[in-house]
Structure 1
């Protein structure tokens, strides 16, 4: 998960939990950060800091984390350290949560579920040993993985023009972010912070399907059938996590699905919505394996 994605997911969870607080009462968010300065998106959804508090931490220091986690019930990690420390950071947070008396912990393993973490090598960079550590403390702290499939927001890339090269000043950005509930109207609102990292040939940064130009790259199974994919929007992930705070007991896998459909059905929906006949590149297993073999382990869509 890239730094942009982790911030975006945190924004979605925080916005959902803030809404949940106003509706049901009783919850507030404490954000652990290396910086005490509230990011612009956070000031847009909580200008007076009435629902959120920032506590500065050193993620490589258990003592720092223990102090910051005092009084916290549920710890939800969305860290994405791509410098090789991600797994250790997760273990540090878990051990610190135990010492601080926290009751629940969700490691930063947002994605495709147990089989994805086990079978996809590019997902192991930040998870090795983390869940094993979680299971050691069963009975002392509830741990859960939130599985959501692919982010549906990837389909929003390319619909709007490329962002301007010149960034707006902070005051203007704050106004725009307030209008969009933490996201700037347009592509940022549609994609909710997901970077243009997709491999499609039009350079749009889209993944699987590019609606504006009518192109797609879709995998097919060995038997010639379309595989199925689960997709969930970023905001719905946030709503699900916020709602889970009311669940009496967490399960090991807290799974959700905005929609589960075949790649063929996804293509049919795209063609129906746009009125276009898409140019489709079919990828077989050997095509995907060849691409994976040429990728660095930390080269993944986040």
Structure 2
């Protein structure tokens, strides 16, 4: 049994992982929260209220913890102070393992500024371990959640359906001229199951922890869409240089938005997310590695064709 602290445990991806951990019946789970348990605590888990500005109290909250899984919302963590304080507190408390708030692409770079904090935290983790390993960590990177290709239909318990630049519902896609990007798609359920197994993994954690459900090119994905949806897809082609200049020349943009962002901020973010996802795909940032596939060879991942056929059968 491992004692696990979940930072940002009220988030959607965190709740998917919590469900998988609870289902394993192998670990003790503690939720770290700024606000306490609130109204929803279906598993009756222990909650510890924390102040991410106060390293002393954070250290105390982690005193008996073996593994910390972070789902800190990057948009609400200016300068990544909360995660860096969490890392410092974990080291002081003698935590063995740490997973930062990744849960997506293998990099962000300048293409996805809303996720730039991920790269900053990676650098910080390397710095704290520069002279000697004081904290074992892994970067859980499942690529894009396959569930999003079923939008607007909900295919998991907690994840909000969000559309992408390949829109199965409206049978359309935006492609980058001269770039047939390679994408990794993993269901949020598979990601959560792998994390639950990784927590109990007896060997050392790999620093880069790729989780690869399916690896396809955008053109292959469009072909799957044609078969699954029973008809052609309309294609908008955009140029890399326009995207790099922040220009979106496609005839449509993203529509579904996350509940944590609203109003004018949401409209700006939707355009930025679409431009950034297209750019990052062209640069190969969604082609993640498969370290956890190799370390957990018995896990059977959902196949992209079968998942999408089931999600769209009988749907208009």
| Bin of the TM-score, shorter chain as denominator length | 0.7 to 0.9
Report the CA distance between 1:240 and its aligned residue. 1.1
Instruction: Between the two structures, name the one with larger relative contact order (CA 8 Å, sep ≥ 6).
Output: 1
CA root-mean-square deviation:
2.9
Q: Does 1:80 align with 2:53?
A: no
Q: Does 1:126 align with 2:117?
A: yes
Kept in 2: contact 1:80–1:86 (CA 8 A)? no
Kept in 2: contact 1:153–1:191 (CA 8 A)? no
Relative to structure 1, the CA distance from residue 86 to residue 5 in structure 2 (aligned partners, 3 Å threshold; closer, same or farther) is: farther
Relative to structure 1, the CA distance from residue 241 to residue 192 in structure 2 (aligned partners, 3 Å threshold; closer, same or farther) is: same
Relative to structure 1, the CA distance from residue 298 to residue 280 in structure 2 (aligned partners, 3 Å threshold; closer, same or farther) is: closer
- Equivalent residue in structure 2 for 1:145, among 135, 139, 142: 139
- Which residue of structure 1 aligns with residue 232 of structure 2? 277
> How many residue pairs are counted as aligned between the two chains?
246
In the alignment, the residues of structure 2 paired with residue 5 and residue 251 of structure 1 have an alpha-carbon distance, to the nearest angstrom, of 24
- Which residue of structure 2 aligns with residue 155 of structure 1? 149
Which ranges of structure 1 fall in alignment gaps of 5 or more residues? 161-186, 197-205
In the alignment, the residues of structure 1 paired with residue 157 and residue 273 of structure 2 have an alpha-carbon distance, to the nearest angstrom, of 17
In the alignment, the residues of structure 1 paired with residue 222 and residue 89 of structure 2 have an alpha-carbon distance, to the nearest angstrom, of 46
SS at match of 1:31: strand
Which ranges of structure 2 fall in alignment gaps of 5 or more residues? 1-7, 250-267, 278-316
- Which residue of structure 1 aligns with residue 11 of structure 2? 7
- Per the normalisation by structure 2, the TM-score is 0.69
- Equivalent residue in structure 1 for 2:166, among 203, 209, 214: 209
Kept in 2: contact 1:87–1:130 (CA 8 A)? yes
- Which residue of structure 2 aligns with residue 219 of structure 1? 176
- Equivalent residue in structure 2 for 1:99, among 92, 95, 98: 92
In the alignment, the residues of structure 1 paired with residue 125 and residue 108 of structure 2 have an alpha-carbon distance, to the nearest angstrom, of 15
Give deviations 1:197-255, integer Å, cap 9, x for gaps: xxxxxxxxx212222221222234xxx35211011111111111111112221011011
- Which residue of structure 2 aligns with residue 29 of structure 1? 29
Kept in 2: contact 1:122–1:300 (CA 8 A)? no
- Per the normalisation by structure 1, the TM-score is 0.72
Give deviations 1:39-81, integer Å, cap 9, x for gaps: 53x41xx2xx1xx211111111112211211111000100014
Q: Does 1:239 align with 2:193?
A: yes
SS at match of 1:117: coil
In the alignment, the residues of structure 2 paired with residue 216 and residue 39 of structure 1 have an alpha-carbon distance, to the nearest angstrom, of 40
Q: Which moved more, 1:137-146 or 1:55-64?
A: 137-146
Report the CA distance between 1:293 and its aligned residue. 9.0
Relative to structure 1, the CA distance from residue 225 to residue 128 in structure 2 (aligned partners, 3 Å threshold; closer, same or farther) is: closer
